[in-house]
Chains A and B, each alone.
Chain A
């Protein structure tokens, strides 16, 4: 936080960093001391400073660093490092195998990984190139000249056209708009889609044309490049005048220009020194639980390896003896010196390690990685069932590490607004002057779902209180911070609002005939129809004198405006509680009725706001305004002072009425939640909303129903309020803690009773943020956890982003269950990062959540598909892949191990070097990848029809130690069968002329049997067998034969004579064929019996579902899409084609962020105010000079 305190324009001054913060999301870099001086429009002068160029590179490597850096990355993996050590060991005389045995697989694995890295880096490089080579107009010799971005230098004067991107951080000088403002969209930066205003200094407004601009000679002194997006300090010196610069004049790279023909600016920071680039940091990568368990398995294998080697080493010590004269044991070789058995044993230990090294499946990690990569890029990203056609958004896996984690999720933490609900607010009802106007009808327009003849089409004028109606509508049309965009006609205008509620209200005003169509920093233009009589339209400019911003403590927003006739009014809208406190006395009936209405609205899950106004006298206003300006210009505690000043004028309000906005549920949410809960997933809703709203939404989306027993822990009790009123914080804390503790204790007991009762009702817990704060206290945490784990639904309302994260990690760490967080807004970022799996909704609130997430989907309902289909399959597949890898390597190595016993523990290899080295990477590599991609236990339709199947993943049924042990048992059994059957069948003459097999004949036969056996075993574990299974399994076996035909048919320069002609010798005997038929069958016989018995007596759920739907056609997506003869319907073809089209992406998606700038989020966490609503800055800046003018008018 040092950077924040240090920066001069930090705004609110340094706040304390709460010591209890557990979730750190990033950090602000400490600023380098000093400043930079930029001479505008003077390349020579800037040349001295040697600023960095504007070309950016987001690549990890370059041509020279690729190999060392890439290799270093690879060897940070334990498995690779292990194999490197084994490879080194196999170059020593200790090794029984030639180095090729271990070097080759390692090389192949590294090669695959490096190629992947290189490919990804190449894509990044191309992305960089396309960005670096896009053109921008720069002032050269009084003309605008196009040059590529990368040629841009600090100090250049550039021209950016409408909808263009800013190529660097630019000092805003002039725009085509008359008042020197421009509008920018920062979606790439912070995900906010509303437009922001930037304003140039009046002194520089003129430099619009090239002729004029070339005269511009300014000197900019500013801070060193840093990564704080919302601060900027510096001075612009022109004509010996110093103008202080603020973020308001800075146009950041990554943003784009809107609603402005073009702007002219001077480049200040370029390339990697731009704020957006300084911000790009890495998301800490998550690893899946299964992978962590896999590490344990690998560790176990190491132990097994150690034991095997130890056993062999001891054996070798015992075996070695002078009596085997033909072995000529003597002192020349340490390893064969019978007089020093200890050394013999130690060296043999190393020998055996190299020999048994294949027990650690080297290609496991790379194969699993490859499988997951394809799963995420090809399956998840391309799934039409998760493709939202309306917004043209496919699902996207932003990491491929967590695919199988999706199949084991037990707890879902969901944000409400924008996730469960659409974040599309519709004006639904209102109460004006004590009368409810409401009847809803079909939605006419986004944000407006209202058709009441009494109000529409001027009907309000006939109502008993037309004046209050008029005030109501004016309040809606004036008191807001919405920006209009597009044409100034009611049909075509679009509103840019910070919150969708606001735009819903403005749209409502428009429909009532108060059309807000234009905003300048000081005025709001409203086209009022029916002011005096029907059919007449009048454009009324309201001068906006002050805007008192909305924030979470104030819970209200006010605007002071001056009517054209000079009337001064303060319009205020806000939460009922805060407005009622500030109402003038009198008219209690209205207040009472309105309150009733408010409660009604609230109970039906609507979001309410109270509207009020106050007429101001000029004197009163002037005296207040002075205080306001003072507060505004204060350097310390500005926000606090502003709030205090606002209190002075926001009182004695007159209630106009209240509005009710409906927060619509997302499509399919209730069904999705129901399905998920049938799948054994528990859903927690974490929201910042009021308890009533939250409970209401929970009902609406079937999370809670009346048959459930609800436990409510709320801070809104009378007892707590009393203490709150007394204002003793210590007492309050003590009391709250006590209350929460008692509640928890009581509920826990009740929960136990319910759990043991016959009817076993489902339980639900509702808790609010304040109580949660105490419940999360270490002493109560366990109780909270116990209670909540027994509940099938939990609703936490009024929670802060930090609490969301805390709750998530409570379950993640405390209960050790797999958690998933889903959210769409910046306030969900912490939660998304805290959970095992973070899912972002790529929807309304911008990209921040998506940027921090592991998967992004367009709609909440796609979660069914993501978890129940992709997650479940992925889990099944990865489990199969991992256990199969384990099995095949164990089987292979054990045959080698049994052989060791018959070679006097000498460590003689059973298989040829090449056989051993290619076993993992060629002969058994492809089928397992195929199974990792294609295996489906039941099809997608059934996965969703029987959500309960998902529970197998939650229970981790397929990667338990028991499963592994079963595989291990069969691996041991098979290796014994393989080895001893081979021994027994090859001890006698093998052809009619009585010739015998030698070592290499036997081993080649054994290897053939092993390859065939493990490949067949793979087929046995498949649930579906596609053409690719046949090709890969058949191909692997075939490839082995082709390989051995060639390998043993030619003489290689290296020592390969062992194998020379072996396969032909083998194939000339009937023995070979008989053995080849016998051994795999004998080895797999027990597996087959096991599979039959398991299915018969202890079937898995999926197996029963398979049986039920056995005779159904397996065009898996039957439920939704009709696939006749596997041909595509036109619909499918179209949506598939749309998805395949290169998306309309902005230029910056490639590099923009690995993660967004979180500054504003942390800053508020740490108590530091960041003016992240940039237009707020714009308005304040423009208002500094404005009051004077208005006074003069007066």
Chain B
């Protein structure tokens, strides 16, 4: 950086061209400027003394442990049933070649399973499907959608980003793109005894998505009409904003293992109830050896069952307190002389300096 004219110019141009100004130095701006240029701004000097270290550790630990306990408690109160069905739902003889099974549309994909409710589950009980090894966050996948089209439908023509699922038979696809095309299409229905449990499939997507990202006047068009069918079909008479399955699916997940909300059972399930699940095992996860799981879960004020937060809070909190104690012991047993001049390097090693 060149400073041809030095700083003198900068300094001289700042303030005070005449006596009157220079006298009024005591006024605020000048004072701040003075403190600034003389590097004398009022400041606090935090010195990380043992007392500070110990008390900070202790204080944070004391805050963290209760938070951890509360969130762990909330998480523990959630009853969760996870049931993997992808291989079990393949009929025994076909299990050696699951791919052929899933690709063969003539084989019925029905599958009935039973499980027992371990604990009382309070309504609403959320139903999730969980996929594993499924890269919804792959770059090619994430960008293969068109938010404009989802909102405006066929009016919006520029759907290049939906490659390679943008056009079919010369017509644009609505909703276009790989994400929509690969819509999950397993379905579940639940029975307690012979009574079908009502599954509410509304309000499973975030409201903002329904209201602002998927058009109320946009209807599926030319969808799943190609040579290769990826996933679910959509009812062309229902606008996208009401196709909540699609909306949930299209909020792509961040990681290759993810859950998506399928619906809710709005009745309590009592412990030891036997639940029958009738599912249509349509979705192909066999080709990439992904798993499919069905999850039933109640929820707490915090959300689903996730011990991680609570555990993390507790473990960090307790290790903070532990370290605080270690420091304290150190401090008592072998206190470091605080601000001791003998610790200065030029004092303790005069020979080498």
Contact = CB atoms under 8 A, between A and B. Distances in A.
Interface of A: 58, 96, 116, 120, 123-124, 127, 285, 321, 323-330, 332-333, 336, 351, 369, 372-373, 376-384, 394, 396-401, 680, 760, 873, 902-904, 906-909, 934, 936, 940, 946, 948, 951, 981, 983-999, 1001-1003, 1022-1029, 1051, 1055, 1057-1058, 1060-1061, 1064-1065, 1069-1071, 1074-1075, 1077-1078, 1081-1082, 1085, 1088-1089, 1091-1092, 1095-1097, 1099, 1101, 1103-1110, 1114-1117, 1123, 1126-1128, 1132-1134, 1136-1143, 1145, 1149-1150, 1154
Nearest to A1074: B309
Contacts of A934: 39, 41, 43
27 contacts: A324-B288, A378-B36, A381-B7, A383-B38, A396-B6, A903-B256, A904-B138, A987-B258, A989-B259, A989-B303, A991-B299, A992-B303, A993-B124, A996-B251, A999-B253, A1025-B43, A1070-B302, A1081-B64, A1095-B48, A1108-B339, A1110-B45, A1116-B39, A1126-B35, A1128-B25, A1137-B16, A1140-B12, A1141-B17
B46 A1025 contact: yes
A985 B308 contact: yes
A907 B128 CA distance: 28
A323 B230 CA distance: 13
Given A999-B254, A1023-B45, A1065-B206, A328 B12 contact: no
Nearest to B340: A1104
B302 A1108 contact: no
Contacts of A1001: 254
Interface string B280-315: 000010011100000001011111111011001100
A1022 B231 CA distance: 56
A903 B137 contact: yes
B117 interface: no
Contact of B4 (A124, A329, A1061, A1127): A124
A982 to B, nearest CB: 9
A789 B53 CA distance: 43
B251 A327 contact: no
B255 A983 contact: yes
B22 A1141 contact: yes
Contact of B2 (A285, A377, A983, A1101): A285
Nearest to B165: A328
B178 interface: yes
Given A995-B261, A1024-B45, A1061-B212, A327 B306 contact: no
Interface string B1-44: 11111111111111111000111011000110011111111111
A936 B44 CA distance: 11
Given A906-B140, A995-B261, A120 B135 contact: no
Interface in B42-85: 42-50, 53, 56-57, 60, 64, 67, 71
B119 interface: no
B147 interface: yes
- Nearest 6 pairs between A and B by C-beta? A1137-B22, A989-B304, A1107-B339, A994-B126, A381-B7, A998-B251
Given A1078-B309, A1099-B343, A903 B139 contact: yes
Given A992-B300, A1110-B45, A1123-B40, A999 B305 contact: no
Contacts of B208: 1060-1061, 1064-1065
Contacts of B138: 324, 327, 903-904, 906, 908
A377 to B, nearest CB: 4
A96 B353 contact: no
Contacts of A58: 4
B107 interface: no
B2 A1141 contact: no
A1076 to B, nearest CB: 11
B47 A1107 contact: yes
A902 B253 contact: no
Nearest to A1136: B34
Given A377-B11, A1143-B12, A995 B309 contact: no
B344 interface: yes
B351 interface: yes
B338 A398 contact: no
A1055 B146 CA distance: 9
A1078 B302 CA distance: 15
Interface string B244-261: 000010011111111111
A1107 B42 contact: no
Contacts of A325: 230, 284, 287-288
Contacts of B257: 987
B50 A1096 contact: yes
A462 B253 CA distance: 111
A102 to B, nearest CB: 17
Among A383, A1088, A1117, A1143, max chain B CB count under 10 A is at A1088
A599 B304 CA distance: 98
Nearest to B130: A987
Contacts of A1029: 43
A1115 B344 CA distance: 24
B320 interface: yes
B199 interface: no
A399 B22 CA distance: 28
A948 B300 CA distance: 61
A593 to B, nearest CB: 50
A285 to B, nearest CB: 7
A397 B44 CA distance: 29
Among B13, B23, B53, B71, max chain A CB count under 10 A is at B53
B325 interface: no
Contacts of A1002: 254-255
A323 B60 CA distance: 49
B50 A992 contact: no
B141 interface: yes
A984 B255 CA distance: 10
A946 B347 CA distance: 12
Nearest to A1112: B45
B327 interface: yes
Contacts of B258: 987, 996
A1024 B322 CA distance: 29
A120 B2 contact: yes
A987 B31 CA distance: 54
B169 to A, nearest CB: 17
B342 to A, nearest CB: 9
A1041 B248 CA distance: 26
B204 interface: yes
B90 interface: no
Among B43, B126, B231, B256, max chain A CB count under 10 A is at B43
B299 A994 contact: yes
B203 interface: yes
Contact of B42 (A986, A1026, A1133): A1026
Among A369, A372, A908, A1097, max chain B CB count under 10 A is at A908
Nearest to A760: B351
Interface string B304-338: 11101100110010011001000100100000101
Nearest to B320: A1085
Among A1085, A1096, A1114, A1138, max chain B CB count under 10 A is at A1096
A397 B6 contact: yes
Given A398-B3, A996-B251, A1110-B339, 11 more contacts: A325-B287, A328-B144, A994-B297, A999-B254, A1025-B45, A1027-B41, A1065-B208, A1088-B57, A1101-B346, A1110-B47, A1140-B22
B284 to A, nearest CB: 7
B304 A988 contact: yes
A369 B25 CA distance: 30
Contacts of B237: none
B38 A384 contact: yes
Contact of A381 (B10, B163, B254, B346): B10
Nearest to A946: B344
A1140 B255 CA distance: 61
A1057 B339 contact: no
Contacts of B165: 328
